């Protein structure tokens, strides 16, 4: 595959459920953010990277990019109130700095175990449908609950746990993030396209492509790192 994509790495969250900045927690000695950036910097499928971080971390991230020689990083920009606002800021930076950008991968910096194989799967899938997101089949039974009472048990065979990267035609997702519908709160980028009536497909993620969110995730992360180093 000779097609490449730009990447927007969103790293501007407050880590409220972790209680401390989860992107700067060392995982076996290398911080979460660096592990994520390593994969994108090393992938031949990624041409340019924009990192979206908090105002407070702008300088730290710029310094880290120099120190780590992440030469594909063309901009480090401040995030917004919500994840979707941070994504939009990243897309705006690509619009400004990468004329003619065709494909973009939007990825959580909090998912440091993404692999180059997942990136490849995502770009291949998006080239088929213009919009494709990483996902894995749900393993638990999921219940819909209202005021502590179960109101529905969706058919598990139709339930998928969604991850990132989420890979899109850049013009498509750029326009969607600037549509009126983008004002509504949504927790992933695919939702926006769904609301606008676009078909979004899934491609295989991985059960190890975890999002570092709460303290317990660090236990699994340490095991994953040790497994990678064997």
Ligand X SMILES: C[C@](O)(CO)[C@H](O)COP(=O)(O)O
Give the β-pairing of 131-137 and 160-169. antiparallel
Q: Could you count the other beta carbons within 10 Å of the beta carbon of residue 143?
A: 11
- Based on the shown chain and the rule CB under 6 A, indicate whether residue 25 belongs to the binding site for ligand CTP: no
User: How far apart, in Å, are the Cα atoms of 159 and each of 50, 145, 162, 198?
Assistant: 31, 16, 9, 19
Candidate segments 41-49, 161-169, 175-183, 199-207, binder of ligand X by CB under 6 A: 161-169
17 binds, among ligand CTP, ligand X, none (CB under 5 to 8 A by kind): ligand CTP
CA distance 190 to 199: 9
The residue (of 52 and 93) whose beta carbon lies closer to ligand CTP is 52
- Based on the shown chain and the rule CB under 6 A, indicate whether residue 162 belongs to the binding site for ligand X: yes
Indicate the burial class of 177 (C-beta count within 10 angstroms; 0-12, 13-18, 19 or more): buried
- Based on the shown chain and the rule CB under 6 A, indicate whether residue 225 belongs to the binding site for ligand X: no
11 binds, among ligand CTP, ligand X, none (CB under 5 to 8 A by kind): ligand CTP
163 binds, among ligand X, ligand CTP, none (CB under 5 to 8 A by kind): ligand X
Binding ligand X by CB under 6 A: which of 81, 187, 214, 215? 187
- Based on the shown chain and the rule CB under 6 A, indicate whether residue 215 belongs to the binding site for ligand CTP: no
162 binds, among ligand X, ligand CTP, none (CB under 5 to 8 A by kind): ligand X
Binding mask 75-94 for ligand X (x = CB under 6 A): --------x-----------
CA distance 230 to 226: 7
Residue 221: which of 32, 17, 10, 42 has the closest Cα? Answer: 32
CA distance 190 to 205: 15
Least distance in angstroms from the C-beta of 135 to ligand X? 9
Candidate segments 35-43, 54-62, 116-124, 158-166, binder of ligand X by CB under 6 A: 158-166
Site residues for ligand X per CB under 6 A: 83, 108, 162-164, 187-188, 211
By CB under 6 A, name the binding residues for ligand CTP. 10-18, 52, 79-83, 86, 108-110, 211, 213
């Amino acid at each position: 595959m000779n097609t490449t994509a730009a990447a927007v790495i969103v790293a501007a969250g407050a880590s409220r459920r972790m209680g401390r900045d989860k992107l700067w927690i060392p995982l076996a000695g290398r911080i979460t953010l660096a592990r994520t950036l390593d994969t994108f910097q090393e992938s031949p499928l990624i041409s340019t990277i924009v990192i979206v971080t908090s105002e407070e971390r702008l300088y730290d991230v710029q310094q880290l990019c120099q120190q780590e020689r992440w030469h594909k990083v063309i901009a480090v920009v401040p995030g917004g109130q919500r994840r979707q606002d941070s994504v939009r800021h990243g897309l705006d930076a690509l619009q400004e700095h990468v004329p003619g950008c065709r494909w973009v991968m939007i990825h959580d910096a909090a998912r440091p175990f993404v692999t180059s194989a997942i990136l490849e799967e995502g770009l291949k899938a998006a080239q088929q449908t213009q919009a494709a997101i990483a996902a894995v089949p749900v393993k638990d039974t999921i219940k819909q609950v209202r005021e502590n009472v179960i109101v529905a048990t969706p058919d598990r065979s139709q339930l998928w746990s969604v991850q990132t990267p989420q890979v899109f035609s850049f013009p498509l997702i750029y326009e969607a993030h600037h549509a009126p519908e983008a004002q509504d709160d949504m927790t992933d980028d695919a939702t926006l396209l769904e609301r606008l009536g676009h078909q979004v497909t899934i491609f295989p993620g991985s059960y190890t492509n975890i999002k570092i969110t709460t303290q317990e995730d660090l236990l699994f992360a340490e095991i994953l790192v040790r497994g990678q180093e064997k």
